Amino acid sequence: MNYAKMVASGLLERGAVKVQVDPLFTWASGIKSPVYCDNRKMIGFVEERKLIVEGFKDLIARKNLEFDVIAGTATAGIPWAAFLAYEVGAPMVYVRPEKKLHGAGRQVEGFVEEGSRVLLVEDLVSTGGSSLKALEALRGEVKAVVDDVVAIVSWGLDGTAERFSEAGVKFDHLVGFDDLIDGALERGDITSADREAVLKFRESPRTWADSL
């Protein structure tokens, strides 16, 4: 089963991912982008939600990923970590962006035994920054072993793979940038000329819009 194509189709159909060149989207970082993703929408669509979880299970089997606990990044990664943990019968925790400033002051919420192997689940990876912060918290705060990160979508921006490699972790995803752009072309959301322009976004996302 081609999960990449099927999940990409679902994301586009439900409006969780949008691809367009006029107008462009503005990311929180200020980057002007032809793509926008809000995978939180997908928790409201049962069949598509099931498909994404099945895709994760297939990815785990194909890549032979081994883990004791599943962790989700707050907040968008939490439901996907929970759905997946339920399906595979694994414990689940989540990781805050920062430590709490009150109470126990934790960044990792839930129980993780020291030395446990943790699979980190993200909804979307752009630069990898949030994943790496969560990785540091899991390794530092609860002394977990984290070798793998998985995401529904990866933009595949230049330098992202290198950041994960430098952190000593493998990264896999269900849907890549090309899958979404090709899906948008098939749907008629963009033209062939648009596709060629959009594919160049990955190479220099901060300056890409200036070339239009």
Structure tokens at 145: 């072993």
Chain segment 170-202, per-residue pLDDT in tens: 999 999 999 999 999 999 999 999 999 999 999
Q: How many residues does the chain have?
A: 212
E strands, 74-199, where? 92-95, 108-109, 117-125, 145-154, 170-175
Q: What's the whole-number average pLDDT of the chain?
A: 96
Give the count of beta carbons closer than 10 Å to the beta carbon of residue 59. Answer: 17
Chain segment 69-102, per-residue pLDDT in tens: 999 999 999 999 999 999 999 999 999 999 877 7
Pick from 57, 11, 43, 50: nearest CA to 155: 11
Rounded to whole angstroms, the Cα distance separating 115 from 143 reads: 6
Structure tokens at 199: 């594919």
Cα-based distances in Å from 13 to 7, 39, 42, 135:
10, 12, 11, 32
Where do the domains of the chain lie? 3-211
91-97 long-range contacts, Cβ below 8 Å, gap at least 24?
93/69, 93/118, 95/71, 95/120, 95/134, 95/137, 95/138, 96/137, 97/130, 97/133
Rounded to whole angstroms, the Cα distance separating 106 from 94 reads: 11
3-211 to CATH, choices 3.90.1150.10, 1.20.1080.10, 3.20.20.70, 3.40.50.2020: 3.40.50.2020
Structure tokens at 204: 């220099």
Average confidence (pLDDT) over 49-71? 99
Rounded to whole angstroms, the Cα distance separating 132 from 8 reads: 25
**Residue 197 near residue 21 (C-beta atoms within 8 A):** yes
How much of the chain, in percent, has pLDDT values that exceed 90?
91
